[in-house]
Amino acid sequence: MAEKDICEIVYVHEDEVNKIKSKMLEDEFLFEVSDNFKVFGDSTRLKILYALSQKDLCVCDLAAVLDMSQSAISHQLRVLRSKNLVKFRKEGKMACYFLADEHVVAMIELGVEHTKEKL
């Protein structure tokens, strides 16, 4: 909640505020955007995505590459699937995961580039 009672009405630059408010995107939409960013905001998921950008991999290989438990990887793959960032095909008893599309690669690359530049 806001505390606009006294504060905002008095001193706020009302016209400016309204102008910006009208330019803002829908709350719901911006929430979705941030929610999409959030998926890349965990190092385990990012590592999974980066590894998959090199080659399609099954769960156990991903676990070996990241040196983490298969359960932890599986849980994160679930998140990545739910956000449509990865897909998988069944090969016998194994599940071979791969990136859903090039947008994912583009996103990773942008993140990597920006991080490199700032150091």
Q: For binding to DNA (CB under 7 A), which residues are involved?
A: 1, 7, 10-11, 38, 42, 44-45, 58-60, 63, 68-72, 74-79, 88, 90, 92-96
φ, ψ of residue 91 in degrees (nearest 5): -130, 95
Least distance from DNA to the Cβ atom of residue 91, Å: 8
User: Is 84 a binder of a second copy (CB under 8 A)?
Assistant: yes
**102/114 Cα distance (integer angstroms):** 18
Q: Is 7 in the site for a second copy (CB under 8 A)?
A: yes
Angle (nearest 5°) at CA 98 between 38 and 58: 105
Contact 106, 51 (CB under 8 A): no
Nearer to a second copy, 71 or 78 (CB): 71
The answer to whether 3 contacts a second copy (rule: CB under 8 A) is yes
**86 is written with which tokens?**
């990865």
